[in-house]
Amino acid sequence: MIAESAHIHPKARLGKDLNIGEYVVIHENVEIGDGCTIQDHCVLGVKGPRTFEPLVLGPGATIRSHSVLYEHSTIGPKLETGHHTVIRERSVVGENLRLGSYSDVEGDCTIGDFSRFHGYVHIGKGTMIGHFVWVFSFSDAANDPLPPSDLAAPVILGDGSVVCLGSILMPGCELGTGAFVVAGSRPAGKIPPGAVVAGSPGRILFHVSRLMDLDSGLSHPWMTHYRSVYPEHAQPRLDELLEEVMKTRHDYKVSRTRSK
Amino acid sequence: MIAESAHIHPKARLGKDLNIGEYVVIHENVEIGDGCTIQDHCVLGVKGPRTFEPLVLGPGATIRSHSVLYEHSTIGPKLETGHHTVIRERSVVGENLRLGSYSDVEGDCTIGDFSRFHGYVHIGKGTMIGHFVWVFSFSDAANDPLPPSDLAAPVILGDGSVVCLGSILMPGCELGTGAFVVAGSRPAGKIPPGAVVAGSPGRILFHVSRLMDLDSGLSHPWMTHYRSVYPEHAQPRLDELLEEVMKTRHDYKVSRTRSK
Amino acid sequence: MIAESAHIHPKARLGKDLNIGEYVVIHENVEIGDGCTIQDHCVLGVKGPRTFEPLVLGPGATIRSHSVLYEHSTIGPKLETGHHTVIRERSVVGENLRLGSYSDVEGDCTIGDFSRFHGYVHIGKGTMIGHFVWVFSFSDAANDPLPPSDLAAPVILGDGSVVCLGSILMPGCELGTGAFVVAGSRPAGKIPPGAVVAGSPGRILFHVSRLMDLDSGLSHPWMTHYRSVYPEHAQPRLDELLEEVMKTRHDYKVSRTRSK
């Protein structure tokens, strides 16, 4: 169902079975896959600096109200956004990204499959984000090492890494596969795979498998117990990712022995 | 006055003397009390996961532009929101909540009367908030003790408690009546009534009545001097609340004596 | 081009060569200069408490979608905003302010020329901001020294000062000309011109000219190398500003000698 009040450019290419809400604006250079829901007051296909290519939005997306997607980005199937989100130009996004309300992907970003960002997440220009990455609210992936400047040192988030509430990934920070950033931390530089990093400046504490919730007995890596939020075809990839993170457990024992 | 461009579902139940702005969308399952103002571009009655009941918005509300309220929440009289706010489903909100611009109440929350949140406040799912609570900008009430997981440890904010700028209430944190969280802190666990907590991890410093502004001579608890922002019928409740907070002053003297 | 769906009050005074997007609302008490672009879903001229004077928006502005500007503010030429921004009443803004997405200028603020704020920047009521000031994401200029209270201790940001990511300028904080606030800091009180301040509570480290990016060899003050983002007629002012900041270099040597 397409609301009568929606303003859709005649050249926009629309898939089948769309739900398009009231006062939605779809500009010219947009391709929308089948079965997408675009809620009220969204704007798709905003022109940015040096944008030419279309916004290609994969099938099955749910874009919640007041969200803004620029042209010249390619987004895989089943994108899901909160309200008031922004995705800027020249981003390449995989399958089933979830982006919380008020989150902003600044452009020139690469994001893998099944990554999940909560609200108020700011992903700086050029950030490279792997698969199954979690970023919690009020976290920021920075990119300027000498602000303000023309220098760019984008952040890299490895597959399965987790950034907790209110953390700043400093310019050039590289989180290894399955690394875990404690709430309110400010990691910089290379964080090894599976490392837990905390504090400001961020210090490496121990392997992520040592993080446990005492009440439930559940522990990290999160792929051991938190998988039902992903579809069937993602499960084998989670197995591989878990194995990869658990392999790095050894590194921490060795370094502990050496350092004492 | 209802703007001609507003899109109102014929089954929505509207009170008298409404001001409804341009391009407002009111979906089907909504009840609006008398005398409400709904500014331009707001959306009321969004469907969420497992929502059936209506959004019941009490009389005298002012909802500022680009705000989004879900169905299946009950909101008392005189709600006042900033711009670009979100209130999700299954929330029960008392009288005269004020919610600053870009603030987000995530759903399944309980909020008492006369609470006041500034901008960019993120209230996680299931948070329980008392009466006369103040939360300042960029603060977050978290709820997942082992992120990401299915575990839930919602935060509780006691009556008259204050959370200053940029603080994270860690999952399961319980702020006692009149407790005070210093800017940029990360309290966890049980914070006793009337306690001032600061730092990360949050440490309890002393009783809130020892907080003073040297220039003006004003001091906490805030109910001693900051009451004109509440209506007449709230004043006796503020007296009681003040008395309750001041009673806890004694506890701190005792514990101080014992610990040295 | 003015979109047919835009809702423009007949008494609003519009300049020439405007681009006004879909579902834009322009209220009565608004003056828009020539050559402005107002993107989809913006609202201009919102009434605030005790507002009478018009919103005067200078020529050449670009207001990105879903932004909200109140009446009773005067804004110089070439304002540029991101999406979902708010500028409240009684603000006086100079030339070419850039305001990132989700940023909020709370009212009664003074902002000089060529200042640049990234996203999620919260400028508290009454903040005084100079020329060429940079404020990065998730930073907050506070104003209440005993929250909640009626007291006001607005923040002052001197010309050319820089506030990095996630910093809180505590109530009454005064940043001197060219001062630099490290990411995640909480400066309070008077910060001398050219000082680098870090940590919480913020401590003064050394002169800003000692900040360097080792990879590129570029160093602060930023006016030495980052000037092409400003127009020709701003360049002599940057020369003066640079000279002023460099003069303060000496002060730090002296105080270092004295304190050891």
| Closest chain A residue to the Cα of B186, Cα to Cα | A184
pLDDT at C131 over 50: yes
Q: Mean of the pLDDT values across residues A157-182?
A: 98
Which residues in chain B touch residue C145, judged by CB atoms under 8 angstroms apart? 213, 215
CA of C235 vs chain A CAs: smallest distance (Å)? 16
Instruction: Report the share of chain B in percent with pLDDT over 70.
Output: 97
A149, A133 Cβ separation under 8 angstroms: no
Asked if omega into C10 is within 30° of 0 (cis), the reply is no
C34-53 CB burial, b ≥16 within 10 A, e <16:
ebbbbbbbbbbbbeeeebee
d(CA B15, CA B84): 24
Containing A169, the helix (H) or strand (E) segment is: strand A168-169
Torsion of CA B112, B137, A186, C211, to 10 degrees: -170
pLDDT at A45 over 60: yes
The answer for residues whose C-beta is within 8 angstroms of residue B235's C-beta and 6 or more apart is B227
A157-177 CB burial, b ≥16 within 10 A, e <16:
bbbbbbbbbbbbbbbbbbbbb
- Residues paired with C43 in a beta bridge: C25, C68
The distance from CA C12 to its chain's CA centroid, rounded to whole angstroms, is 27
pLDDT tens for each residue of C48-62: 999 999 999 999 999
CA of B87 vs chain A CAs: smallest distance (Å)? 11
Instruction: Name the band, by pLDDT with cuts 50, 70 and 90, for residue A251.
Output: confident
Backbone angles phi, psi at B8, to 5 degrees: -115, 125
Per-residue pLDDT at C253: 59
Per-residue pLDDT at B55: 98
Helices (H), chain A: 235-247, 249-259
CA of B67 vs chain A CAs: smallest distance (Å)? 9
What was the ipTM of the complex prediction?
0.95
Which site among C138, C210, C238 would you substitute to test the A interface, given the most A Cβ atoms closer than 10 Å to its Cβ? Answer: C138
Contact B164 C151 (CB under 8 A): no
- Least reliable range by pLDDT among A250-254, B152-156, C12-16, C104-108: A250-254
CA of A124 vs chain B CAs: smallest distance (Å)? 19
The residues on C that touch A, with CB distances below 8 Å, are 3, 5, 21-23, 39-41, 64-66, 82-84, 101-102, 116, 119-120, 134, 136-138, 162, 164-166, 183-184, 211-213, 215-216, 218-220, 222, 225-226, 228-229
pLDDT tens for each residue of A233-247: 999 999 999 999 999
Which site among A1, A62, A68, A137 would you substitute to test the B interface, given the most B Cβ atoms closer than 10 Å to its Cβ? Answer: A137
d(CA B156, CA B130): 8
The distance from CA B218 to its chain's CA centroid, rounded to whole angstroms, is 24
What are chain B's partners, defined as 3 or more CB pairs within 8 angstroms?
A: A, C
The neighbour count for residue A253, using CB atoms within 10 Å, is 11
pLDDT tens for each residue of A208-227: 999 999 999 999 999 999 99
pLDDT tens for each residue of C186-211: 999 999 999 999 998 899 999 999 99
CA of B256 vs chain C CAs: smallest distance (Å)? 24
Q: Three-class SS of residue A108?
A: coil
Q: Let me know if A199 is exposed, middle or buried by CB neighbors in 10 A (0-12, 13-18, 19+).
A: middle
pLDDT at B221 over 80: yes
Per-residue pLDDT at B257: 40
Instruction: Name the band, by pLDDT with cuts 50, 70 and 90, for residue B200.
Output: confident
Q: How confident is the prediction for chain B on average, in pLDDT?
A: 95
Instruction: Report the share of chain C in percent with pLDDT over 90.
Output: 95
Per-residue pLDDT at C256: 44
Per-residue pLDDT at A256: 44
Q: What is the DSSP string of C40-58?
A: TT-EEEE--TT--SPEEE-
Contact A147 C134 (CB under 8 A): yes
| Amino acid identity at C212 | M
pLDDT tens for each residue of A52-89: 999 999 999 999 999 999 999 999 999 999 999 999 99
pLDDT tens for each residue of B83-120: 999 999 999 999 999 999 999 999 999 999 999 999 99
Q: Which of A43, A146, A153 sits opposite C41 (nearest CB)?
A: A43
pLDDT tens for each residue of A5-33: 999 999 999 999 999 999 999 999 999 99
Q: Which of B65, B137, B213 sits opposite C146 (nearest CB)?
A: B213
The distance from CA A228 to its chain's CA centroid, rounded to whole angstroms, is 19
Q: Which of C39, C164, C184 sits opposite A147 (nearest CB)?
A: C164
Q: Mean of the pLDDT values across residues C91-120?
A: 98
Size of interface A-C (CB pairs under 8 A): 98
Q: Which of B7, B138, B149 sits opposite A226 (nearest CB)?
A: B149
CA-to-CA separations, B180 to A215, A224, B186, B218, C121, in angstroms, rounded: 27, 38, 12, 16, 24
Of A84, A122, A88, A138, nearest to A108 (Cα)?
A88
Contact B162 C147 (CB under 8 A): yes
Backbone angles phi, psi at C63, to 5 degrees: -105, 115
C92, C74 Cβ separation under 8 angstroms: yes
Which residues in chain C touch residue B23, judged by CB atoms under 8 angstroms apart? 7, 23, 25, 41
Which site among B209, B213, B219, B238 would you substitute to test the C interface, given the most C Cβ atoms closer than 10 Å to its Cβ? Answer: B213
For residues C169 and B258, the model is more confident at C169
Q: Mean of the pLDDT values across residues A109-127?
A: 98
Q: Mean of the pLDDT values across residues C1-19?
A: 98
| Closest chain A residue to the Cα of C182, Cα to Cα | A147
Per-residue pLDDT at A253: 59
Question: How is residue A15 annotated by DSSP?
Answer: -
Q: Three-class SS of residue A243?
A: helix
pLDDT at B189 over 60: yes
pLDDT at C254 over 60: no
Q: Which of C119, C184, C211 sits opposite A186 (nearest CB)?
A: C184
Per-residue pLDDT at B153: 97
Of B87, B183, B76, B175, nearest to B133 (Cα)?
B175
Of B129, B130, B140, B143, nearest to B103 (Cα)?
B140
B139, B163 Cβ separation under 8 angstroms: yes
Per-residue pLDDT at C258: 39
Q: Which of B21, B120, B218 sits opposite C149 (nearest CB)?
A: B218
Q: How confident is the prediction for chain A on average, in pLDDT?
A: 95
pLDDT at C255 over 80: no
Sign of CA dihedral C19, C53, C120, C165: positive
Question: How is residue A228 annotated by DSSP?
Answer: T
- Residues paired with C129 in a beta bridge: C111, C157
For residues B259 and B170, the model is more confident at B170
pLDDT tens for each residue of B6-34: 999 999 999 999 999 999 999 999 999 99
What are chain A's partners, defined as 3 or more CB pairs within 8 angstroms?
A: B, C
Which site among B118, B196, B214 would you substitute to test the C interface, given the most C Cβ atoms closer than 10 Å to its Cβ? Answer: B118
Cα angle A176, A177, A182; round to 5 = 70
First and final C-alpha spacing in chain C = 66
pLDDT at B241 over 70: yes
Of B94, B160, B103, B92, nearest to B127 (Cα)?
B92
Instruction: Name the band, by pLDDT with cuts 50, 70 and 90, for residue C107.
Output: very high
pLDDT at B228 over 70: yes
pLDDT at C138 over 50: yes
C37, C17 Cβ separation under 8 angstroms: no
B94, B114 Cβ separation under 8 angstroms: yes
Cα angle C6, A18, A28; round to 5 = 45
Per-residue pLDDT at B253: 59
Per-residue pLDDT at A216: 94
Question: How large is the C-alpha radius of gyration of chain C?
Answer: 19
Q: Mean of the pLDDT values across residues B44-70?
A: 97
CA of C100 vs chain B CAs: smallest distance (Å)? 14
